[in-house]
Amino acid sequence: MKACRFYPVLISLILLIPVLLPAQDRIPRVVQEPPRVFIDCHQCDMNYIRSELSFVSFVRERTEADVHILITIQGTAGGGREYTLNFIGRNNFYDVHHTLKYVSSRTDSADTERKGLVRVLKVGLVPYLAKTDLGDYLRIDFERRQPPAEVEDPWNFWVFNLGLSGSLSGEETKNFFSLHSNLSASRVTEKLKFRSGLSGSFNSSRFKVTEDEVTTIITSHQRSFSLSALMVYSIGNHWSVGGWVGASSSTYNNINLNLNPAPAIEYNYFPYSESTRRQLRFLYRVGFSLNYYREETIFDKTREALLGETLSVTLEIKEPWGNVYASLEGFHYFHDFSKNHLVFNTSLNLRLYRGFSVGISGRFAKIKDQIYLAKGDLSLEDILLQRKALATAYSYGISLGVNYTFGSIYSGVVNPRFGN
């Protein structure tokens, strides 16, 4: 009888054990593996990023990732780069999405720039790490900084660039020489954008041809220069107004001097603040051209003044599934609508399936406005050495590629031996 009375008491104590134990002992922890991360960036130093972010698992396929980081880059007014980091959660982190930015300076070294990018990547990964057991190892270190004092910019936002390059190559029967120079000045603020540039090039080719013991020297020279300036005023988050002015010369295009002012207006269907991810821009401009030709043209002109208009539509999209770019431009002269051109450019890169992607780019132009062509027949040397432009009704180009990768999904190991 005593044993019978003892059993209910024992059973009650067993049932009470889960209640009496501390919460952390009676609720087992769910051990999670480090978040699997896919970084979508074509201009980033991935070896450095992988070596610095050793607390996550890198994968080479976005569909296998817990965190997809889409990084888009665009130039800043000061010559630096603005990185927009879009953190996109998947699987257990489907509700965690945010965007951070990192801006580098024109004077930053490559090492300084990649360190700054990694710092922002670490900050952006904190919400994902906090939802795993790795959150126990997070330590917050906040460095309080005084707000930067206002300073006077001695350059007043102006940025200048000067460049000069040349090349020389050859062998016994031929040699080539080229020289290129450029100078640019820009000033960009939120309300006003001004860019100007001056460039010039000189290319020379020399061939030694021997036939029937007779040696002939054939030479070819091409010269060109261009001067252009762009001024744009911001009107709200969708509209811009401004214009171009330019001057150019080209032996290839039979242009001794071309002057071309062109006011323009643009509408972006998406806010300009979303330009790193998507743009749909409609641009209209009216241009005046004053042409002085090197040789008399096929229309018996040595100089002429013309007026024309251009309408272009440009679409740019950057998403986790790929990138899309397409533009369509139409132009005609007012004095003769049959003198026109239509140009279509496109590029598409799609990630269709795990490890499988396809890329295609193309260009097609319908050309009816070659008013600058020199009168008379071209010699064989002019054609082969590309001294002068040829008459054509169209031009095109296309490229297509597919890529399929399979095997281990993890790509975090960095081994720099023998290079890449």
pLDDT digits (tens, 9 = 90+) for 50-84: 888 888 888 888 888 899 999 988 888 777 888 99
Domain 36-137 and domain 158-404 have a common topology: no
pTM above 0.95, yes or no: no
d(CA 329, CA 346): 12
pLDDT digits (tens, 9 = 90+) for 15-56: 444 444 444 444 344 446 788 899 988 888 888 898 888 888
pLDDT digits (tens, 9 = 90+) for 356-404: 889 999 999 999 999 999 888 888 777 777 788 888 999 999 999 998 8
HEC string of the chain equals: CHHHHHHHHHHHHHHHHHHHCCHHHHCCCCCCCCCEEEEECCCCCHHHHHHHCCCCEEECCHHHCCEEEEEEEEECCCCCEEEEEEEEECHHHCCCEEEEEEECCCCCCHHHHHHHHHHHHHHHHHHHHCCCHHHHHCCCCCCCCCCCCCCCCCCCCEEEEEEEEEEEEECCCEEEEEEEEEEEEEEECCCEEEEEEEEEEEEEEEEEEEECCEEEEEEEEEEEEEEEEEEEEEECCCEEEEEEEEEEEECCCCEEEEEEEEEEEEEECCCHHHCCCEEEEEEEEEEEEEEEECCCECCCCCEEEEEEEEEEEEEEEEECCEEEEEEEEEEEECCCCCCEEEEEEEEEEEEEECCEEEEEEEEEEEECCCCCCECCCCCHHHHHCCCCCCCCCEEEEEEEEEEECCCCCECCCCCCCCCC
CB 331 within 8 A of CB 262: no
Quickly state the pLDDT bin for 1 (edges 50, 70, 90): very low
Among candidate residues 417, 416, 409, the one with its CA nearest the CA of residue 58 = 409
d(CA 75, CA 81): 4
Place of tokens 């972010």: 53
Cα angle, residue 126 at apex, residues 125 and 129 outer, rounded to 5°: 90
The fold adopted by the segment(s) 158-404 is Porin (2.40.160)
Beta-carbon contacts of 3 under 8 Å, excluding residues fewer than 6 positions away, are none
Name which residue leads in pLDDT, 241 or 151. Answer: 241
- Look at residue 415 in the predicted model and tell me its pLDDT: 67
- Look at residue 144 in the predicted model and tell me its pLDDT: 66
CB 412 within 8 A of CB 366: no
Sequence length of the chain is 420
Going from the C-alpha of 323 to that of each of 103, 301, 314, the distances in angstroms are: 22, 45, 14
CB atoms within 10 A of CB 144: 4
224 burial type by CB count under 10 A (0-12 exposed, 13-18 middle, 19+ buried): middle
- Look at residue 363 in the predicted model and tell me its pLDDT: 96
CB atoms within 10 A of CB 318: 20
- Look at residue 341 in the predicted model and tell me its pLDDT: 96
36-137: in CATH 2.160.20? no
Domain ranges in the chain are 36-137, 158-404
